[in-house]
Amino acid sequence: MSMWLWFRRGRRDRELDEEIRAHLAMATRDRVERGEDPRAAEAAARREFGNRTLVEETTREMWGWSSLERLWQDVCYALRGMRRSPGFTAVTLLSLALGIGANTAIFSLVNTLMLRKLPVEHPEQLVEPSHRFQDEPHFNTFSWRQYQYFLAHNHVFSDLTGMSGINYDFGAFFHVRDRGPEAERVGGVCVTGNFFPMLGVRPALGRLLGPEDDRLNAPGPVAVVSWSYWKERFNLDPAIVGKRITVDGFPVTIAGVTARGFRGLILDSPEDIWLPLAMLPSLAPGRSLEKNGNVMLVGRMKPGVGIGQARAEMAILFKQAVGEGPAGRERSFLSAMQFEMESASAGLSRARDQFAGPLVLLMGVVGLLLLLACANVAGMLAARGAARQRELALRVSLGAGRWRLVRQALTESLLLSGSGTLLGIGVAWLGATALVRIVASGRERLEIHPVPDAHVLLFTAGLAVLTGLLFGISPVLHVWSTAPAASLRGAGKGGDTRFGRLLGKALVTAQVALSVGLLSVASLFILHLSDIYAGLGFERDHVLLATLDPSRAGYSRAQLARPYQEILERLRALPQVRSATLSRVTPVLGAGASRDATVEGYQDRPGELRYLSENWVGPKYFETFGTPLLRGRDFTFQDDGGPRAAIVNQAMARHYFGDGNPLGKHVTFDGDPKPYEIVGVVGDAKYIDPREIAGRIIYFNAFQEGHLFPRFSMRTRGAPAAVAGDFRRIANGVLKNAAVERITTLEDQVDATLVPERLTVTLSGLFGALGALLAAIGTYGLLAYSVARRGNEIGIRMALGATRRGIARMVLGESLGTTCTGLAIGVPLGYWARRAAAGLVPDLPVKGAAAIAVSAVMMILVALLAAYVPARRATRVDPMEALRYE
Amino acid sequence: MVRREGYKNRIELLQGTLDMLILQTLSWGPEHGYGIGQAIRSGSGEVLQVETGSLYPALHRLEKQGWIRSEWRASEHNQRAKYYQLTAAGKRQLTAEQGRWNQLSAAIASLMHPGESEGQA
């Protein structure tokens, strides 16, 4: 392109040049013929012709494509400028790449989880009904009876479809054997016959499931697979239709392939195979739709029905369905549920429930970071603009059009932002991959694939232009404020306007303010996470968790007490193990059990919840997990055969006995007449989730009456992972053929439950640090420039008796001045950001000013650090040297 | 700056008129830029002086519009020069502009000398 441009241009230029030369020659000849002196004639002809360059310039304008050519010139000019100051260019590109990359990465996740529509017909009509207890996650599981009730009585849905996996709601899979000898795990669910018709998904090949397939004893069970499954497993072989495969040991025929792109309705776990729901009882023995066949529901609203209307009717139907259902505990349980309904246009996602708040918040954080990066680049451009003031003034005086200069400045800015964006796309790709890895590191299996679709590309391109214009304003203002004569006259050393100085200061102030905002959000999250860690009630480090599968060891459950005790004793004998135990559940494993109980000497209030969370633990459980024993004693192996012993937590002791002594009191459970005697009280520890409020927990001795569970825990002296090999050796030594199922550390188990918190802490911390770094660079740049500019002033001051300390104080004072102005704006900004954050993430410790105070102090330190080098340089100014320049 | 003095007693060309004058000049036959300038000058009795800064942009503009085309050939003094000549489109354009010019000058004339135009009507 450019080569061609230059070629065309060169030929046209030469022609124009020759045309003008011919003109001058002819004019001269005419004059000579009229009798003038040849030399005088030539001069006169030239004079008459006028400003040749101007004529050429205006003539070229007529060629039409000169705007393109000017753009090229501007680009070359900008590139030359960038090459001339590589440090500036590197810092600029880096901060823009990070800013734009971070925005794109987080936006791509927001897009995947919240914006991207399902590839079905009219996705905006789809809704997901669910129910929940107050303050608990919502569940989209309805009984078959409720589903039938909704189908029969609703007026708001054009259809309502049900799905069920054989094992889980989310992340359901089958074991499918297609070609090879081994069955493989393939994501998929059983669906009702109206599933595909309702969604309007079309087959890429064959046919999809319909109501005729979803009947008991339908002829020849069939399955439908996804396009990507077809591609990966069958290499797009059209003969796939009619192929027989085995699903969980059950032979089925493939009836068709869904349209490309459709992988089910659940974002977190893409599906590749669908079977009729009528097959569920065959695939999962013991499940019948009527008795215990829970289904996940998705409805399509009739055209014209709003989600509010649909929600209102369904809430009533839900209450009615519960009222007509079986009485007893289940009904009281269900009546306490709140019915909810949300749009399912972007798919169902449990990750969205967890991450929507944090992601929106991080979007805000990276938005602030990008603004900061813009202010930073604008500041650097302004400083450079000030240094170029003389050049600009000269060019304006020589007749350069201001628009041309403005365009040049904008070209440079857009070029910077464009290259920054290209780098940023790389950053975004790395960032999005890392983000997905963090998001998927939780307890539940998540498979999220952010794809850079049109939304993301548009977003990034928009950012590129926006940032270019944002920081491009500063040099443009500079150009406009250039008064040629004045700056040429005053330009002793790089002319500098009052306006330019103010602009530079304002930009640094903005950077300080923004980074205070970022830092206070980050410190808020750090405080939040450390609050959670501090409130666990157990010590999460140095504990190894290992689960055994003793089913092939040839022992009955009652016989396991001896070998388990032996394993524990051998573990305790290891020098690197401080204590070892076993239990039914370990802290925050995510599972638990509870029973309703009667406590001796306590009268239940009517309507009070009577349940106690329970756990069966071996001796030294509390020692191993670092939960303090407050009163009484721990369990022993000798409790077996003695009276039933129980240890309760502080929350339970306080609830039932207040300040009284719980030791020796008895607890009886519904349906189990034999009472337990309380022998000890321990501190409160989190049971299922680190964020829960401490509930009432009762512990039983696992070695009493043989309630043995193969979850072993060890507190180690060194790294917990180092004991894993010893555990395997000991476990296999004692129990032949017992497989070690799962080995992890308590720390990892805790962290897996805190993924959203850790994500926000890591990212906001990273971005906060980055912001502070940028603000430091900005402050440093401003001061370094200011010291260079005021060199002679400093020299005069020193000559007049100012001390070096005084000079240093002056520079530091200037730095503190902009910083304090920045703080004056940043602290309210920080307060506002915290309130916005608290609206998005529950339970944030927004009270107290610690977070903001910390970030303000950090900013002052950053400012002083940034001022150090310029201040030193200022004190080194040689008065004589400086004065000589005057 | 120097040349400004000389122009004071000459008439500045109306916007758009230059194009018509160029086309008119070329209707006599191909001519180079210098020749066009000279022809307008002498044809107007030294009243109209075309500045090169207007002439050459106008020529290149007209060529781009397709009203004139150019070729290099030797001048009468064996000097290589760029000759412009009217195209068919240029001829049509000239006719149109002449019509418009006649209308305009008649209208201005009737405004400037109201008595005469009344007498004619």
Which of A492-506, A549-563, A815-829, B73-87 has the lowest average pLDDT?
A492-506
The C-alpha R_g of chain A, in whole angstroms, comes to 37
- What pLDDT, on the 0 to 100 scale, is given for residue A387? 67
Please say whether the beta carbons of A684 and A672 come within 8 A: no
Asked whether the beta carbons of residue B53 and residue A19 sit closer than 8 angstroms, the reply is: no
B69 close to A (CB below 8 A): no
Hey, CA dihedral for B104, B109, B111, B112, is it positive or negative? positive
- The CA distance from B105 to the nearest CA of chain A, in Å, is 29
Q: Which residue of B has its CA nearest to A61?
A: B57
Per-residue confidence at A482, pLDDT binned at 50, 70, 90? low
Check pLDDT > 70 for residue A329.
no
Q: What is the mean pLDDT of residues A310-323?
A: 91
Please say whether the beta carbons of A377 and A88 come within 8 A: no
> Strand pairing partners for B71?
B83
B16 close to A (CB below 8 A): no
Q: What are phi and psi of A133, to 5 degrees?
A: -80, 155
**Fold of domain B2-120:** Arc Repressor Mutant, subunit A (1.10.10)
Sequence length of chain B is 121
Per-residue confidence at A269, pLDDT binned at 50, 70, 90? confident
Sequence length of chain A is 886
Report the percentage of chain A scoring pLDDT > 70. Answer: 93
Q: Which long-range contacts (CB under 8 A, 24 or more apart) does A660-669 make?
A: A661/A631, A662/A631, A663/A631, A663/A632, A665/A599, A665/A600, A665/A601, A666/A599, A666/A600, A667/A597, A667/A598, A667/A599, A667/A600, A667/A612, A667/A698, A668/A597, A668/A598, A668/A600, A669/A595, A669/A596, A669/A597, A669/A598
Say which amino acid occupies A217.
Answer: N
Q: Where are the domains of chain A?
A: 2-64, 67-116+352-430+443-495, 123-345, 497-530+754-886, 554-736
Report the distance separating Cα B65 and Cα B86, nearest Å. Answer: 12
Report the distance separating Cα A337 and Cα B57, nearest Å. Answer: 82
Token pair for residue B65?
Answer: 């519009």
Q: Which residue has the higher pLDDT, A69 or B87?
A: B87
Say which amino acid occupies A883.
Answer: L
Of A18, A23, A54, the CB nearest to B34: A23
- What pLDDT, on the 0 to 100 scale, is given for residue A248? 86
Check pLDDT > 70 for residue A265.
yes
Token pair for residue A47?
Answer: 């004079």
Report the distance separating Cα A711 and Cα A586, nearest Å. Answer: 8
- Strand pairing report for A672-682 and A666-669: antiparallel
Q: Which residue of B has its CA nearest to A51?
A: B53
Q: Which residue has the tokens 């060199």?
A: A791
Residue A560's nearest CA partner among A539, A587, A582 is A582
Query: Structure pTM?
Result: 0.73
Please say whether the beta carbons of A595 and A670 come within 8 A: yes
Check pLDDT > 60 for residue A658.
yes
Residue A540's nearest CA partner among A588, A594, A506, A582 is A588
Mutate to test the interface with A, among B2, B55, B60 (most CBs of A within 10 A): B60
- What pLDDT, on the 0 to 100 scale, is given for residue A255? 94
Please say whether the beta carbons of A520 and A834 come within 8 A: yes
Asked whether the beta carbons of residue B53 and residue A54 sit closer than 8 angstroms, the reply is: yes
B56 close to A (CB below 8 A): yes
- Strand pairing report for A645-649 and A672-682: parallel
Chain A residues with CB inside 8 Å of B57's CB? Answer: 55, 58-59, 61-62
Please say whether the beta carbons of A5 and A72 come within 8 A: yes
- What pLDDT, on the 0 to 100 scale, is given for residue A538? 95
Check pLDDT > 70 for residue A643.
yes
**Chunked mean pLDDT (size 10), chain B, 121 residues:** 40 72 91 90 84 87 88 83 91 90 89 64 36
Chain B residues with CB inside 8 Å of A58's CB? Answer: 53, 56-57
Q: Where are the domains of chain B?
A: 2-120
- What pLDDT, on the 0 to 100 scale, is given for residue A574? 94
Please say whether the beta carbons of A109 and A759 come within 8 A: no
Per-residue confidence at A8, pLDDT binned at 50, 70, 90? low
Of A20, A22, A59, the CB nearest to B80: A22
Per-residue confidence at A107, pLDDT binned at 50, 70, 90? very high
Report the distance separating Cα A378 and Cα A723, nearest Å. Answer: 55
Token pair for residue A293?
Answer: 């066949």
Give how far the C-alpha of residue A685 lies from the chain's centroid of Cα atoms, to the nearest Å. Answer: 29
Chain A residues with CB inside 8 Å of B3's CB? Answer: 47-48, 50
| Sequence-distant (≥ 6) Cβ neighbours of residue B69 within 8 angstroms | B63, B84, B85, B87
Of B35, B57, B77, the CB nearest to A58: B57
A-B CB pairs within 8 A amount to 62
| Sequence-distant (≥ 6) Cβ neighbours of residue A152 within 8 angstroms | none
- What pLDDT, on the 0 to 100 scale, is given for residue A125? 95
Flag whether the ipTM exceeds 0.95. no
Q: Which residue of A has its CA nearest to B52?
A: A49
> B17-26 and B52-65 helices cross at what angle (nearest 10)?
70
Give how far the C-alpha of residue A868 lies from the chain's centroid of Cα atoms, to the nearest Å. Answer: 36
Residue A670's nearest CA partner among A618, A604, A730, A581 is A604
Asked whether the beta carbons of residue A27 and residue B35 sit closer than 8 angstroms, the reply is: no
Q: What confidence tens digit (pLDDT) does each residue in A824-836 have?
A: 999 998 888 888 8
Q: What is the rounded end-to-end Cα distance, in angstroms, of chain A?
A: 51
- The CA distance from B60 to the nearest CA of chain A, in Å, is 6
Mutate to test the interface with B, among A26, A32, A53, A56 (most CBs of B within 10 A): A26
- What pLDDT, on the 0 to 100 scale, is given for residue A313? 94
Q: What confidence tens digit (pLDDT) does each residue in A151-186 have?
A: 999 999 999 999 988 776 667 888 888 777 788 888
Chain B residues with CB inside 8 Å of A50's CB? Answer: 3, 51-53
DSSP A809-850: HHHHHHHHHHHHHHHHHHHHHHHHHHHHHHHHSTT---SSSH
Report the distance separating Cα A787 and Cα A796, nearest Å. Answer: 13
Q: Which long-range contacts (CB under 8 A, 24 or more apart) does A36-42 make?
A: none
Q: Which residue of A has its CA nearest to B64?
A: A63
Residue A462's nearest CA partner among A535, A547, A541, A367 is A367
Token pair for residue A95?
Answer: 């901060």
Residue B29's nearest CA partner among B98, B74, B91, B81 is B91
Check pLDDT > 50 for residue A43.
yes
HSE value, Cβ hemisphere, 13 Å, CA-based, for A44: 15
Asked whether the beta carbons of residue A23 and residue B52 sit closer than 8 angstroms, the reply is: yes
In the three-class reduction of DSSP (H, G, I as helix; E, B as strand; rest coil), residue A120 is classed as coil
Q: What confidence tens digit (pLDDT) does each residue in A625-638 have?
A: 999 999 999 999 98
Q: What is the mean pLDDT of residues A470-499?
A: 64
Chain A residues with CB inside 8 Å of B33's CB? Answer: 19, 22-23
Asked whether the beta carbons of residue A22 and residue B56 sit closer than 8 angstroms, the reply is: no
CB neighbourhood size of A506 (10 A): 18
Check pLDDT > 50 for residue A286.
yes
Asked whether the beta carbons of residue B57 and residue A22 sit closer than 8 angstroms, the reply is: no
Chain B residues with CB inside 8 Å of A16's CB? Answer: 56
Asked whether the beta carbons of residue A48 and residue B61 sit closer than 8 angstroms, the reply is: no
